[in-house]
Amino acid sequence: MTAPPPQPAAEMGDESLQSPNVAAFHDPRTGSLQYVVSDPDTGDCAIIDPVLDFDEKSGGVATTSADRLLEHVQSHGLRLQWILDTHPHADHLTAADYLKRCTGAPTAIGAKITAVQKLWADIYDLPSLATDGSQWDRLFDHGDAFEIGRMPMRVLFSPGHTLASITYLVGDAAFIHDTLFMPDSGTARADFPGGDPDALWNSIQDILALPRGTRLFTGHDYRPGGREARWQSSIAEQRTANIHLPEAISRDDFISFRKARDAGLPMPRLILHALQVNINAGRLPELERNGRRYLRFPLDALSGAAWN
């Protein structure tokens, strides 16, 4: 994992935008990116999309990734105000519950998580799961605002990849989760239960309409060609260089392209492990009589998905 120095504002940034400090942590096991974003004046911060380490081969769970976030917060003298997820992840378990138990900081996610809970509670046959989002301290709707220190933070509803995906906007930084990857990796898939390529197109247009100096921080990087991990791009880079967004592409072209591409993609290897935990705000299953925890694994729940 990497924890680079805080990223500076984009060269062509809008000088009217404040610039938070952003530290990124890349998890090579899942390609996931975790962030600590902070107000440089007050030292108040939020953690975005924390990873709970999980090895599906052994069933092992570890907190190494999340502990590195906590170490960064402590070593830089920051004060954690929020633990934020951009969406219910399909490729890693969220460490939101672990971090809340460690710090007492509140957790939050998009308000449409309730629809995702209902959908997946049925897939997993979890009738006792609360599907009202009460596992989190706050559910964010489009346009909701809150603060990190003295920096306003705003929520942009960004569905398509999932029903509940949101973007967090703070100063000149936008945390755009899986909607757009780095330009050489393209755009998010939209074939998970509840996904929608038309909604994804709209979400991409909303992001590309942000102020031109906005720094875009993506949710994953799979290092195409074996290059070093990257996570920050600009509006201009996405408009001109994203391999899934040639300048002449239309909504209909994009939807057709996305559907065809998704039809050939295998499901993430942890999707059925992760969603049952992530729709419960990172809470692991309760201990059984023998003192062990068990994940449910529905067979043929995602029939029709491509195989490796």
- Helices (H) and strands (E) counted in the chain, each on its own, are 7, 15
Give domain status of residue 9, yes or no: no
**What would the mean pLDDT of 254-259 be, rounded to a whole number?**
95
Express each pLDDT in 193-211 by its tens digit: 999 999 999 999 999 999 9
What pLDDT does 6 receive? 45
| Residue 13 included in any domain | no
204 beta partners: none
Which residue is listed with tokens 């306003």? 152
Assess if residue 306 is contained within a domain.
no
Q: Beta-strand (E) ranges in the chain? A: 21-27, 32-38, 44-48, 51-55, 60-62, 79-84, 93-94, 107-110, 138-140, 145-148, 151-157, 166-170, 173-177, 215-218, 232-234
Model confidence at 178: pLDDT above 90? yes
pLDDT at residue 273 is higher than 80: yes
Residue 83 and residue 46 in contact, taking contact as beta carbons nearer than 8 Å: yes
Q: Which domain holds residue 125?
A: 21-278
Kindly state the percentage of the chain with pLDDT values over 70. Answer: 94
Mean pLDDT (whole number) for 255-279: 96
Look at residue 152 and tell me if it is in a domain: yes
What element of type H or E holds 205? helix 197-208
Q: Are 25 and 1 in contact (CB under 8 A)?
A: yes
DSSP structure string for 238-283: HHHH-TT--TT--HHHHHHHHHHHHHTPBPPTTHHHHHHHHTTTTP
> What is the pTM (predicted TM-score) of this model?
0.93
pLDDT at 13 over 70: no
Distance CA 241, CA 178 (A): 17
Phi, psi of 122 (to 5 degrees): -70, -45
- Look up the CATH number of the domain holding residue 51: 3.60.15.10
In a domain, 166, yes or no: yes
Is 12 inside any structural domain?
no
Give the pLDDT score at 303: 86
Query: Does residue 146 sit within a domain?
Result: yes
Answer yes or no: is 35 within a domain.
yes
The number of folded domains in the chain is 1
